[in-house]
A and B are shown apart, each in its own frame.
Chain A
């Protein structure tokens, strides 16, 4: 594995970063939407009953 470790682990690290990034951005988008919904409802952010 020694000679190829950089390429093999680099590939799986890239996969982890891209998949993790996609999930993180999606959670951020959901939280932004939640906050927006709370503000529209005149509530303090984070207290809305709304759940995705």
Chain B
């Protein structure tokens, strides 16, 4: 099988259409299961009480905000370096979902902060660097929208996205590098997690649901972007719309 053929918008468009329901439906099921485990199976936290249940949406949203930014910068870079239209379109499709998750992590973080720290917001390193991530997303989206020529917009966006990657490790390690109000990592890439098994299960199920949701919505948006940009392409005008 020649996978390179899917780097062409004409070949990827119908494939994306077929993939969307395969990610959207499991995502809805996992959201329901994750919320059930998070609210009815996971025990109450002995320190934070019920407020800790915000974690089941806050932590996946924060991770998705960072991971989608890395993916966006990767695709933008590929699009810029290899003049690959589809990769640049993928970067544009990722930006809005990444911004949505980053905004959600800031809102839920504020709602978690008030009962646990006594304040909605503090200018600590984790929160400030996450706010900068949101601004980077908004900058990328605005920059692309401000330039009429899509290829020029892709290149300008790619520069901003790649420069902004430096912010992602700053967010991740901020709780180790500086004395922050924000707590340290509960789950590490290496080492045992410090939370109870049902809590961890709910968190991982919600994370999987967020991933599947992101893939489904990004593929759906990518199809729309392809439609918008390739309006005059022969494969579209000849009715290849399946």
Tell me whether B51 and A52 are in contact (CB under 8 A): no
Do A33 and B224 form a contact, CB below 8 Å, given A4-B50, A23-B217? yes
Binding site for A on B (CB under 8 A): 17, 35, 49-51, 53-54, 57-58, 61, 96-97, 100, 103-104, 107-108, 111-112, 114-115, 213, 217, 220-221, 223-224, 227-228, 231, 239, 241
Binding site for B on A (CB under 8 A): 1, 3-5, 7-8, 10-12, 14-15, 18-19, 21-23, 26, 29-30, 33, 37, 40, 49-52
Tell me whether B115 and A4 are in contact (CB under 8 A): yes
Q: Which residues of A contact B100 (CB under 8 A)?
A: 18-19, 21-22
Nearest A residue to B55 via CB reads: A11
Q: Which residues of A contact B224 (CB under 8 A)?
A: 26, 29-30, 33, 52
Given B17, B50, B96, B104, which contacts A8 in the complex, CB threshold below 8 Å? B50
Measured in the bound complex, the distance between the Cα atoms of B57 and A29 in whole Å is 27
Tell me whether A8 and B51 are in contact (CB under 8 A): yes
Q: Which residues of A contact B231 (CB under 8 A)?
A: 37, 40
Tell me whether A4 and B217 are in contact (CB under 8 A): no
Q: Which residues of A contact B115 (CB under 8 A)?
A: 3-4, 7
Tell me whether A51 and B217 are in contact (CB under 8 A): no
Given B17, B51, B104, B114, which contacts A15 in the complex, CB threshold below 8 Å? B104
Tell me whether A7 and B107 are in contact (CB under 8 A): no
Name the residue among A3, A7, A26, A52 with the largest chain B CB count within 10 angstroms: A7
Give 3 closest A-B pairs by Cβ, nearest first. A4-B51, A11-B108, A11-B54
Shortest CB-to-CB span from B89 to chain A, Å, is 14
Q: Which residues of A contact B114 (CB under 8 A)?
A: 7
Nearest B residue to A25 via CB reads: B96
Q: Which residues of B contact A52 (CB under 8 A)?
A: 17, 223-224, 227
Nearest A residue to B13 via CB reads: A52
Shortest CB-to-CB span from B35 to chain A, Å, is 8
Measured in the bound complex, the distance between the Cα atoms of B35 and A37 in whole Å is 40
Measured in the bound complex, the distance between the Cα atoms of B61 and A11 in whole Å is 11
Measured in the bound complex, the distance between the Cα atoms of B54 and A30 in whole Å is 33
Tell me whether A14 and B104 are in contact (CB under 8 A): yes
Nearest B residue to A52 via CB reads: B223
Shortest CB-to-CB span from A1 to chain B, Å, is 5
Shortest CB-to-CB span from A4 to chain B, Å, is 4
Q: Which residues of A contact B104 (CB under 8 A)?
A: 14-15, 18
Q: Which residues of A contact B111 (CB under 8 A)?
A: 7-8, 10-11, 14
Shortest CB-to-CB span from B22 to chain A, Å, is 17
Nearest A residue to B60 via CB reads: A15
Given A8, A26, A51, which contacts B220 in the complex, CB threshold below 8 Å? A26
